[in-house]
Amino acid sequence: MNEIKITAKNVNVFYGDKQALKDISIDIPARQVTALIGPSGCGKSTFLRSINRMNDVIDGCRLEGEIKLDSEDIYARGIDVVHLRARIGMVFQKPNPFPKSIYDNIAYGPKIHGLTTSSAEMDDLVMGALEKAGLIDEVRDRLDSPGTGLSGGQQQRLCIARAIAVEPEVILMDEPCSALDPIATARIEELIDELKENYTIVMVTHSMQQAARVSQKTAFFHMGELVEQGATEDIFTRPQDERTQAYITGRIG
C-alpha cells in the first residue's frame, strides 16, 4: 500500500456565495506525482491552493472540510501558515524569480527560516538546491547575476530550486510549463521525475499529454467536482466516467 501524504476529506470551498469546490475527497500518495486536470474554472487550481492555504489571502474565500498533511489538519487553529508553506512549497505558472541575484533567490527562504548558521553552510545549501533543480552547470559562474536575466526555462528551474531550498515535503506546481518551449518543458518534466524520489508533487496542468507523461495519479475536476481519480494509465486509456472520457478525448472544453 502506498504511503499517503495528503488527505482531503469532504472539502468545500466558497468564494463569497459561489461554491468553487464541492465535496472533494482525495488521497495524495507520497513521493509520486499527482496531476490535477480539467477545464478552466473547474476548481483544480482552487484545490491546489487549498493545500498550502494560499486561498487564505483571498477575501471572502471560505473552506469547509478537512485537509491533512501526514494526519495533521492544516486548517486547525494554531497552525503556523508560514511554516506550513515551507513544508508545502509552490511553483507558479509564470516563473517569478525575485529581483535579486541567482544566489540570493535561493538563499532568501533558508535565511528567513533560519535553516543555516554559517555562510559556508548557506553556500552548500544554495549549490545543493541548484544541483537538485538541474540548473547548477548553467549558472555556476554567474551566481551574482540577476535571476531575472535567465531564460524562461532556467527561471522556472530557479523557482523550483528556491522551493527546494527550504526543504519542503510537498511541492505544488500550477501549470509550471505553460510559459515554456518544448525543450525547457522536457527539462522540467525530467526534473519532476527526479524530484518525486524525495518529494510529493501535486501539479495542475492543462496539457493532458503532460499529465500522462509525468504523473502516476490523475484527478479530473469538472464544475467544482472531483469527477474521477485513479492511476494515470487507467484515466487515459479507460476512464470510467463519461465526463472524463469526453474531456480527455476533446469532446467538451
Which of 182/250 has CB closer to other proteins? 250
Element (H, E) at 217: strand 217-222
Q: How many angstroms separate the CA atoms of 44 and 14, rounded?
A: 14
Please state the closest distance from residue 215 (CB atom) to other proteins, in A: 14
182 binds other proteins (CB under 8 A): no
Site for other proteins in 200-229 (CB under 8 A): 208-209, 212
Query: How many Cβ atoms sit within 10 Å of the Cβ of residue 118?
Result: 8
Please state the closest distance from residue 208 (CB atom) to other proteins, in A: 7
186 binds other proteins (CB under 8 A): no
Which of 71/209 has CB closer to other proteins? 209
253 binds other proteins (CB under 8 A): yes
Residue selected from 2, 25, 145, 249 as contacting other proteins according to rule CB under 8 A: 249
Please state the closest distance from residue 194 (CB atom) to other proteins, in A: 25
Please state the closest distance from residue 237 (CB atom) to other proteins, in A: 6
Instruction: Using alpha carbons, select from 232, 188, 230 the residue that is nearest to residue 212.
Output: 232
Which of 135/235 has CB closer to other proteins? 235
Please state the closest distance from residue 129 (CB atom) to other proteins, in A: 34
Please give the order of strands across the beta sheet that includes 225-231: 88-91, 170-174, 200-204, 33-37, 217-222, 225-231
Site for other proteins in 226-245 (CB under 8 A): 236-239, 244-245
| CA angle centred on 54, ends 169 and 77, rounded to 5° | 80
Please state whether beta strands 88-91 and 33-37 pair in parallel, antiparallel, or not at all (unpaired). unpaired
Q: How many angstroms separate the CA atoms of 217 and 5, rounded?
A: 13
Cell numbers 481519480 label which residue? 229
Which of 111/213 has CB closer to other proteins? 213
Q: How many angstroms separate the CA atoms of 141 and 23, rounded?
A: 50
Q: How many angstroms separate the CA atoms of 37 and 211, rounded?
A: 8
Which of 178/245 has CB closer to other proteins? 245
Please state the closest distance from residue 216 (CB atom) to other proteins, in A: 17
Which of 129/248 has CB closer to other proteins? 248
- CA trace torsion 57, 58, 62, 63 (10° rounding): -60
Which of 46/210 has CB closer to other proteins? 210
Q: Which residues bind other proteins (CB under 8 A)?
A: 208-209, 212, 236-239, 244-246, 248-253
